[in-house]
């Protein structure tokens, strides 16, 4: 039996939780980033204890589909993560991302520190002032609440299911577009 311990020596590990549509897509994007040490799909922002995927999809729990990131703040800044967040979904559509409709697909930043709240609000103001989007940003900026890890089959979904039609026709094009815009932020082993 081999036991492997991951030790984060000299790393400034921080946590943030983003709701930016279907977690299958967003997980795949954030897993590619240099400095991101883990991405976990789950649910946050609702009123039901330990909700299931079906309960969240039915819109009965108030939860958003989210990804919880751990990242080395010395390698990737929170502002860089915010830019990726805002560039890889539509933060102007209330409770909707493309064909996915419902409060579970809302645009949300669940922060853990006052600094994260301030930076999130400053980024929204900056993007608004620069008129990056044609419509107002509706992203909610809310204190993090209880995080519920999604069922096992949702974790690493794209990596484990690349030949499924959703992965090929929805996730892969998003990853391709992302790779063109953020090549310098992608883990080098993924660029081969």
Which amino acids are annotated catalytic?
22
Q: What is the DSSP string of the chain?
A: --------TT--EEEEEEEES-HHHHHHHHHTBTTEEEEEEEEES-SSSS--HHHHHTT-S-PEEEEEEEEETTTS-HHHHHHHHHHSS-TTSTTEETTEESGGG-EEEEESSHHHHHHHHHHHHHHHHTT-SSS----EEEE----EEPPGGGTTHHHH-TTSHHIIIIIHHHHHHHHHH-GGGB-GGG--
């Amino acid at each position: 039996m081999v036991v492997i311990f991951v030790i984060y020596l000299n790393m400034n590990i921080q946590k943030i939780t983003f709701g930016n549509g279907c977690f299958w897509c967003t997980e795949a994007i954030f897993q590619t980033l240099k400095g991101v040490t883990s991405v976990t799909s789950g649910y946050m922002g609702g009123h039901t204890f330990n909700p299931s995927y079906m309960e969240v999809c039915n819109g009965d729990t108030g939860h958003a589909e989210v990804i919880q990131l751990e990242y080395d703040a010395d390698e990737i800044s929170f502002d860089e993560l915010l830019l990726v967040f805002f560039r890889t979904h539509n933060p102007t559509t209330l409770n909707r991302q493309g064909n996915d409709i419902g409060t579970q697909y809302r645009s949300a930043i669940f922060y853990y520190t006052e600094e994260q709240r301030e930076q999130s609000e400053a980024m929204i103001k900056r993007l608004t002032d620069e008129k990056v989007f044609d419509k107002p940003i509706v992203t909610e900026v809310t204190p993090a609440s209880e995080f519920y890890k999604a069922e096992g089959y949702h974790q690493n979904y794209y990596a484990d299911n690349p030949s499924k039609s959703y992965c090929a026709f929805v996730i892969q094009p998003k990853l391709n577009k992302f790779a063109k815009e953020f090549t310098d932020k992608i883990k080098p082993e993924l660029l081969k």
